[in-house]
Structure 1
Amino acid sequence: MWRLKSQNTTGLKGYRALGRKKTGEFNKTESAYQQFLEKEKQEGRILDYRFEELKLKIGEPACWYMPDFLVINADREIEFHEVKGAAAIFQDDAKVKIKAAAYRNSHFIFKVVFPDKKELSGWRIQEF
């Protein structure tokens, strides 16, 4: 669930999560994206996907990143998809984590996805 917060500590207006689901539980946006991935799998555009399958170490001593979805595309490449409810929610800390993960694991593909009614697929995808 999201709410509009009038000001955060940086003085910027934006959205903040009211709480995080337990590991392995979908929020509404992740659930919608899982349905999209299932359709992609049924139509042969991806081979498989897993939710919160693994954690990637991105820094010392103990900085970790857990992508929302591990996706195996039709070319058998491993992709990590991070699902956000809106571009406004994808803020600096999340950007730093995915960029660090992409830098440390350059042999994988990293994507952030947002719902977007203007896109044919219903999702806007940004690759790192």
Structure 2
Amino acid sequence: MAGYSAAFLKDIERRIDNGSLKVAGGTIKPSEINPQTAAKKPNNAVENLQALGRMNPGRMNKTEAAYAQYLDALKACGEILWYEFECIKLRLADSSHYTVDFFVMRSSGALEAHEVKGGHAFEDSIVKLKGANEKFPWPFYLVRKAKGGGWNITKVGNKSQLQTWAT
């Protein structure tokens, strides 16, 4: 699990061990684990870690809130006309959907979809982003916090010319 510090992972393990961390399916306490069957259970550590970062629909996490402030500044400068958080849910396949983090209208009137990632971007989220980019006509951008401040905004795919913004 690259991208997570050893201290963070150790804290997660400690919280699981003492029963203070709720994971998918309830709270696990060490006393409830049967050593005979424990080795047979699949390791769901990645899924449990992903569940920690999920927010209720319509609520921004800290990174998304910071990016919204950045978009507000762009709006005040006239670079963009409008943006909305989680206003569009795209159907990629029968049981696969993708909710756009920020739908943005540039001052030219062009629409863009911005996907904000605070830390490690898991492969399934990147696959959905690439699938949405292939199916829908507007450009998609992957947004990450830059080291030292600002934002790294990378265009997904090659609808026109691949470009990266550094702010």
TM-score (norm 1): 0.81
For residue 113 of structure 1, what is the aligned residue in structure 2? 143
Structure with more strand by fraction: 1
Instruction: After TM superposition, give the deviation of residue 62 of structure 1 in Å.
Output: 1.9
Instruction: After TM superposition, give the deviation of residue 117 of structure 1 in Å.
Output: 3.5
TM-score (norm 2): 0.63
Q: CA RMSD in A?
A: 2.5
> How many pairs does the alignment contain?
118
Instruction: List gaps (5 residues or longer) in structure 2.
Output: 11-42, 157-167
Instruction: List gaps (5 residues or longer) in structure 1.
Output: none
Are 1:98 and 2:132 an aligned pair?
no
Task: Indicate the percent of aligned positions where both proteins have the same amino acid.
Answer: 37
Q: Displaced runs of 4+ in structure 1, greater than 6 A?
A: none
For residue 43 of structure 1, what is the aligned residue in structure 2? 77
Instruction: After TM superposition, give the deviation of residue 11 of structure 1 in Å.
Output: 9.6
Cα 1:29–1:11, aligned 2, differ >3 Å: closer, same or farther?
Answer: closer
Larger relative contact order (CA 8 Å, sep ≥ 6): 1
In the alignment, the residues of structure 2 paired with residue 23 and residue 97 of structure 1 have an alpha-carbon distance, to the nearest angstrom, of 18
What amino acid sits opposite 2:121 in the alignment? F
Instruction: After TM superposition, give the deviation of residue 74 of structure 1 in Å.
Output: 1.5
In the alignment, the residues of structure 2 paired with residue 38 and residue 81 of structure 1 have an alpha-carbon distance, to the nearest angstrom, of 14
Question: 1:52-87: per-residue Cα shift (whole Å, max 9, x none)?
Answer: 00101111x22100011000012211101010113x
Structure with more helix by fraction: 2
In the alignment, the residues of structure 2 paired with residue 16 and residue 24 of structure 1 have an alpha-carbon distance, to the nearest angstrom, of 18
In the alignment, the residues of structure 2 paired with residue 123 and residue 17 of structure 1 have an alpha-carbon distance, to the nearest angstrom, of 25
In the alignment, the residues of structure 1 paired with residue 146 and residue 51 of structure 2 have an alpha-carbon distance, to the nearest angstrom, of 19
Higher Rg: 2
Instruction: After TM superposition, give the deviation of residue 126 of structure 1 in Å.
Output: 1.1
For residue 126 of structure 1, what is the aligned residue in structure 2? 154
Q: How does 1:10-25 map to 2 (within 5 A)?
A: 16=50, 18-25=52-59
